Amino acid sequence: MPDDRNHPGTDPRTLDPIFSPRTVAVVGASRKRDSIGFALLHNMVVEEFAGAIYPINPSADSIHSLKAYPSVAAVPDPIDLALIAVPKGAVPAVVRECLDAGVRGLVVITAGFAETGAAGAAVEAEIRDLVREHGIRMVGPNCMGVINTDPEVCLNATFAPTPARRGSIGFVSQSGALGVAILNVAADLGVGLTQFASMGNKADVSGNDLLEYWEDDPETRVIAMYLESFGNPRRFTEIAKRVGRKKPILVVKSGRTAEGARAASSHTGAIAGTDVTVSAFLDQCGVLRANTIEELFDLAVALDRCPMATGNRVAIVTNAGGPAIMATDACVNLGLEIASLSDETEERLRSFLPAEASVKNPVDMIASATPESYARALDIVLDDPSVDLAMVINVTPLLSNPIDVLESIADATHGHDCPVLAVMMATEEFYEGIKARGDLPPVYRFPEPAARVLAQLSRYSAWRRRPADELPPEFDVDDAAVARILDRTGDGYLPAADAYRVLELYGIPTAGWRTAGSPESAAVAASDVGYPVVLKGEARDLVHKSDVGAVAVGLEDADGVREAARSIERRLEEAGQRVESFLIQEMVAGGHEVIFGISTDPRFGPLLMFGLGGRYVEVFRDVRFGVTPLTRPEAEDMIRGIRGFRLLEGVRGEEPADLDLLADILLRLAQLALRHPRIRELDINPFLAAGDPDAAKAVDVRLKVGEPPNPAG
């Protein structure tokens, strides 16, 4: 798929002729009702385009009661936008004709270009070059078109059957077919758009251009994207990090399912796949990822209507116990905290709620709650400084109208600067009735989607609170020495001793070690290391040593070492391997077993991994990824983001791990990976993360080198 490597550099205003034209030529307009050429013209007309429409068709005098012209050149007025839907063979000539006629923007609907193979790609490149030479912009080819709901413009230059409603979301879709579905969902949810663009093959205009187009547009409060690929991840990062500070960017990225097994033997390589990479990448850009289009709109509505969250503590106000329990579970599972309300708040609630109500969070007002009790309770709860977010649940009771409840919630929310979501367990009629009501809080049918949205709101505002100008730190290390070691191995795993040397050169603490060639010399080396020691048998293709019994821990003396060495020799032989050398290592006591990893992605470059380590990494997969370059807050996010983070903080009297040291190691590894592209995979598993920084050490490392992949866009 073409990207914007040869990008002319965007002035977002160059898209104005496409989104806000005053004159539009529909090239390929047709009288045949079931054709795209008819649908395009029809939509332009019925959506009441504010400018003039010129159907272009060599064999019709008029179409849709508009005078038709045989060619663009024959139109007497200047044309801002040409909408092209002619057979693919005719497209290059039509584009030339448009350029000659001084058309200022193009939308090419016609398919059959890069998506069909090399020949199509060549024609597409030719068209793109032509367009760029003339300094104008083109959307498509192979797209569904563009929409601008601005009442001054009213442009529906698509063949979609569903009209778009005016609103504040800018939506860009890479897929045309999905574009139709998106417009349907948007209409069903009563969600409005500012502009919509279906990108198609992105020959010229890409999602990045749209981000910049919406960056300073006051009407577009939320940007939503459906993406299948990233043309140019570096440029996306740069733009998304900048634009995301002004308004939220939401992405549905398809291709979430695991890729086919990749040829990776390290833990990091086995867990890393395209999808986790994409998620890590989007996270770091501050972009919010949704799983489905519906989830995307759930989130978009909340981002549009709610203020920024101040933290992650949630208050739940309900009239039924069951849904509140579900809400609590969902929030906790997503890493949100259930706010603990102050005594004063509880007292104020107690003063007017019935005795059977619960004034602790979740605040359960029981089934007799009226719209007034909702307003009062919510107002009190939002006054509490320990509340950052709120979810208000209403199960329609027998006697009151849920719309009154929702309006009370809206009233109470107005006086506070806090995101409030409503969960209304109500009838379809209720939902029909609130469709066009942009003045109400975001409404969800169930607690779980609402909890997901709260978690995203809290994450996005945390990202926004971070300093924007953070740069990756630089560590002063002997990179030449590292390169010499890496170059000693042509392709494959470094000998253990070399892998440890690389860590040491990069300032990553390792357990003291020696190597030895025989059980006898292992015993000698052990006294250098100092008892107790750990003995490991190393063999070229042996990746997970303890699987075959090649690790002996807690050896106290020379006899123990000799004996263990012989039995490791035996076991490896039984496993069809041969001990190439022994590693005698300082026995490290205590510390949490964590894993650090590096793997590489052909698109995104080196990836870092952090998580709970040990033998069961691939079973628990409690890991987080980060893309390089990595900043300190990003490294800290990776560490805090694992599910088992509380273990590292120390539970049940255990000492906490030194978290600064862990972040420091991630940053050092990020530099190592960026500066030494021959590194294909690295696992430090485990690193024993003790509280005392002098006791925290790497005790196992595997490092694989090879040819760097071709640098990607």
Give the binding site for ligand ADP (CB under 6 A). 511, 534, 536, 544-546, 551, 553, 585-588, 593, 614-615, 685-686, 699-700
Nearer to Mg ion, 671 or 685 (CB): 685
Q: How many CB atoms lie within 10 A of CB 163?
A: 14
Give the nearest distance from C-beta 644 to ligand ADP in angstroms.
16
CB neighbours of residue 603 within 10 Å: 17
**3-state SS string over 499-544?**
HHHHHHHCCCCECCEEEECCHHHHHHHHHHHCCCEEEEEECCCCCC
Which partner from the list Mg ion, ligand ADP, none does 546 bind, CB cut-off 5 to 8 Å by kind? ligand ADP
Residue number with CB closer to ligand ADP (183 or 594): 594
Distance from C-alpha of 63 to C-alpha of 33, rounded to nearest angstrom: 11
| Beta partners for residue 609, in sequence order | 597, 625
Query: What is 63-105 written as a DSSP string?
Result: ETTEE-BSSGGG-SS--SEEEE-S-GGGHHHHHHHHHHTT--E
- Give me the least distance between CB of 499 and ligand ADP, in Å please: 11
**Complex with Mg ion: residue 124 or 700, whichever CB lies closer:** 700
Q: Which does 614 bind (CB under 5 to 8 A by kind): Mg ion, ligand ADP, none?
A: ligand ADP
Instruction: CB nearer to ligand ADP: give 4 or 538.
Output: 538
Q: Which residue has the tokens 């009441």?
A: 48
Q: What are the angstrom distances between the C-alpha of 683 and each of 115, 422, 489, 595, 603?
A: 39, 45, 17, 7, 21
Q: CA-to-CA distance for 702 and 680, rounded, in angstroms? A: 11
Supply the minimum distance, in Å, between the C-beta of residue 547 and Mg ion. Answer: 10
Which one-letter amino acid corresponds to residue 179?
G
**Cα–Cα distance, 436 to 428 (Å, whole number):** 14
Contact set for Mg ion, span 540-579 (CB under 5 A): none
Question: At closest approach, how far in Å is the CB of 300 from ligand ADP?
Answer: 45
Judged by beta carbon distances under 5 to 8 A according to partner kind, the member of Mg ion, ligand ADP, none in contact with residue 553 is ligand ADP
Stretch that binds Mg ion, among 172-180, 557-565, 662-670, 699-707 (CB under 5 A): 699-707
Contacting Mg ion (CB under 5 A), which of 502, 700, 701, 705?
A: 700
16 binds, among ligand ADP, Mg ion, none (CB under 5 to 8 A by kind): none
CA distance 277 to 256: 11
Which distant-in-sequence residues (6+ apart) come within 8 Å of 379 by Cβ? 412, 415, 416
646 touches, from Mg ion, ligand ADP, none (C-beta below 5 to 8 Å by class): none
Binder of residue 121, out of ligand ADP, Mg ion, none (CB less than 5 to 8 A by kind): none
- Provide the minimum distance between the beta carbon of 500 and Mg ion in the complex, in angstroms, as a whole number: 13
Rounded least distance, CB 549 to ligand ADP, Å: 10
CB of 573 to ligand ADP, least distance (A): 18
| Residue (163 or 509) nearer to Mg ion, CB | 509
CB of 209 or CB of 538, closer to ligand ADP: 538
Query: From CA 44, how far away is CA 41, in angstroms rounded?
Result: 5
- Closer residue to ligand ADP in complex, CB, 241/544: 544
Q: How far apart are the C-alpha atoms of 596 and 509, rounded to whole Å?
A: 13
Query: Judged by CB, which is closer to ligand ADP: 112, or 532?
Result: 532
Instruction: Name the binder of 587 from Mg ion, ligand ADP, none, CB < 5-8 A by kind.
Output: ligand ADP
- The count of chain residues that interact with Mg ion, using the rule CB under 5 A, is 2
Q: Given candidates 36, 40, 685, 691, which one binds Mg ion under the rule CB under 5 A?
A: 685
Instruction: Map the footprint of Mg ion across residues 415-454, applying CB under 5 A.
Output: none
Under the binding rule (CB under 5 A), the answer on residue 538 touching Mg ion is no
Q: Which residue bears the tokens 């503590």? A: 313
Give the pair of three-digit tokens for residue 665. Answer: 């190691």
- Under 8 Å between Cβ of 162 and 184: yes
Partner whose binding site includes residue 452, from ligand ADP, Mg ion, none (CB under 5 to 8 Å by kind): none
Binding region for Mg ion (CB under 5 A) out of 98-106, 241-249, 663-671, 681-689: 681-689
Residue 361's CB is within 10 A of a number of other CB atoms, namely 24
Closest contact distance (angstroms) between CB of 670 and ligand ADP is 23
Distance separating alpha carbons of residues 358 and 321, to the nearest angstrom: 10
Q: Which residues bind Mg ion (CB under 5 A)?
A: 685, 700
